[in-house]
Chain A
Amino acid sequence: MKHLIGLSATRTNAPTAIIAVVALLLLAGIGIIVQNEAAYRELQGQEVRVQAEILAESVEAALDFGDAQAAQGAVEAIRVNRQVRTVGVYDAAGALVAGYGRDGDAPPPTRDVPYASTRGAVASIVPVESGSERIGSVFLAADPEPLSSRLTRYLVMALLVLMAVLVIIVLGIGQNALRRANRELEERAEALVGANAELKVQIAERARAEDQLRQAQKLQALGQLTGGIAHDFNNLLTVIQGSADMLRRPGIEEAKRMRFAEAIAQAASRAAALTGQLLAFARRQPLQPEVLDVNALIRGMIDLFDRTLGERISVITDLASTACAVEADRAQLESALLNIAVNARDAMPEGGTLKIATESRPDGESGRMVAIAVTDSGEGMDAETLARAIEPFFTTKSTGKGTGLGLSQVYGFATQSGGDVRIDSAPGKGTTVTLLLPCSRASASAQEEDQGARFQAKRTGRVLLVEDNDEVGEFAHSLLSEIGHHVEWVRSGEEALELIESRDFDVVFSDVVMPGMSGLELAEALRRLRPGLPVILTTGYSDEIAATGAGGRPVILKPYRLENLAAAIDQALDGREKE
Chain B
Amino acid sequence: MKAAFIPKFARYVEWPAPVRPAERDPFELCVIGHDPYGSLLDRAAAREAIEGREIVVRRLRTAEGAASCHLAFVHGASPPETGRLLVALRGLPILTITDSRAGPVRGMIHFTTVGGRVRFFIDDAVAAERGLSISSRLLALALGVRQRRS
Chain A positions within 8 Å of B, measured between CB atoms, are 58, 60-62, 64-67, 70, 73, 130-133
Task: Evaluate contact between B49 and A67: CB separation under 8 angstroms.
Answer: no
Instruction: Kindly provide the distance from the CB of A66 to the nearest chain B CB, expressed in whole angstroms.
Output: 8
A131 x B141 contact (CB < 8 A): no
| Nearest-Cβ distance from residue A226 to partner chain B, whole angstroms | 142
Expressed in whole angstroms, the Cα–Cα distance for A398 and B29 within the complex equals 164
- Which B residues are closer than 8 A to A by beta carbons? 5, 8, 11-12, 47-51, 117, 119, 135, 137-138, 140-141
Q: Is the CB of A131 within 8 A of B48?
A: yes
Interchain nearest-CB distance for A574 vs B (Å): 155
Please state if B5 and A65 are interface contacts (CB–CB under 8 Å): yes
Q: Is the CB of A61 within 8 A of B137?
A: yes
Flag if A58 contacts B137 (CB, 8 Å).
yes
Q: In the complex, how many angstroms separate the beta carbon of B3 from the nearest chain A beta carbon?
A: 13
Interface centre among A64, A65, A67 (most CB of B within 10 A): A65
Known A-B contacts A64-B8, A65-B5, A65-B8; the reply to A132 vs B140 at CB < 8 A is no
Write out the residue numbers on chain B whose beta carbons fall within 8 Å of the beta carbon of A67: 119, 141
Complex Cα spacing A133 to B7, Å: 14
Bound-state CA distance A132–B48 (Å) is 9
Q: In the complex, how many angstroms separate the beta carbon of B79 from the nearest chain A beta carbon?
A: 25
Closest A-B pairs by Cβ, 10 of them? A61-B137, A70-B141, A67-B141, A64-B8, A65-B141, A61-B141, A61-B138, A131-B49, A70-B140, A65-B5
Q: What residues of A have a CB within 8 angstroms of the CB of B50 in the complex?
A: 131
Q: Which residue of the partner chain B has the closest CB to A61?
A: B137
Chain B residue, CB-CB nearest to A74: B140
- Interface contacts (Cβ under 8 Å), in number, total 30
Report the separation of the CA atoms of residues A258 and B23 in the bound assembly, to the nearest whole angstrom. Answer: 178
- Closest B residue to A133 by CB, please name it: B47
Residue on A with the closest CB to B51?
A131
A61 to B9, CA, bound (A): 10
- Give the CA-CA distance A65 to B48 in the complex, in Å: 13
Chain A residues whose CB sits within 8 angstroms of the CB of B138 once the complex forms: 61
Please list 11 pairs of residues, one from A and one from B, whose beta carbons are closer than 8 Å in the complex, sorted by A's number. Answer: A61-B137, A61-B140, A62-B141, A64-B8, A65-B8, A73-B140, A130-B8, A130-B11, A131-B11, A131-B49, A131-B50
With a CB–CB cut-off of 8 A, which chain A residues contact B141?
61-62, 65, 67, 70
Q: Find chain B residues with CB under 8 A from A60 CB.
A: 137
Which residues of the other chain, B, contact A132 by a CB distance below 8 angstroms?
A: 49
A71's closest neighbor in chain B, by CB?
B141
- CB A133 to nearest CB in B, in angstroms, measures 8
Question: Once the chains are docked, how many angstroms separate the CA of A131 from the CA of B49?
Answer: 7
Given contacts A58-B137, A70-B141, contact A64 B11 (CB under 8 A): yes
A residues near B119, Cβ cutoff 8 Å: 67
Q: Kindly list chain A residues whose C-beta atoms are within 8 Å of the C-beta of B137.
A: 58, 60-61
- If A61-B12, A70-B141 are given as contacts, then 20 extra A-B residue pairs at C-beta distance below 8 Å, sorted by A number, are A58-B137, A60-B137, A61-B135, A61-B137, A61-B138, A61-B140, A64-B8, A64-B11, A65-B5, A65-B8, A66-B117, A67-B141, A70-B140, A73-B140, A130-B8, A130-B11, A131-B49, A131-B50, A131-B51, A132-B49
B8 to nearest A CB, angstroms?
A: 5
Of A58, A61, A66, chain B has the most CB atoms within 10 Å of the CB of A61
Q: Which residue of chain A has its CB nearest to the CB of B5?
A: A65
B53 and chain A: residue at smallest CB distance: A131
Least CB separation from A60: chain B residue:
B137
A153-B89 Cα distance, complex, nearest whole Å: 65
B49 neighbours in A (Cβ, 8 Å): 131-132
Bound form: Cα–Cα A62–B139 in Å: 10
Complex Cα distance A58/B47, Å?
Answer: 22
Question: Which chain B positions have C-beta within 8 A of A61?
Answer: 12, 135, 137-138, 140-141
A66 to B119, CA, bound (A): 10
CA distance A467 to B144 in the complex (A): 160
In the complex the two chains form, what is the Cα distance from A58 to B12 in whole Å?
Answer: 12
Measured between alpha carbons, how far is A64 from B51 in the docked complex, in Å? 16
Q: How far is the CB of A229 from chain B (nearest CB, A)?
A: 145
Q: Which residues of B contact A58 (CB under 8 A)?
A: 137
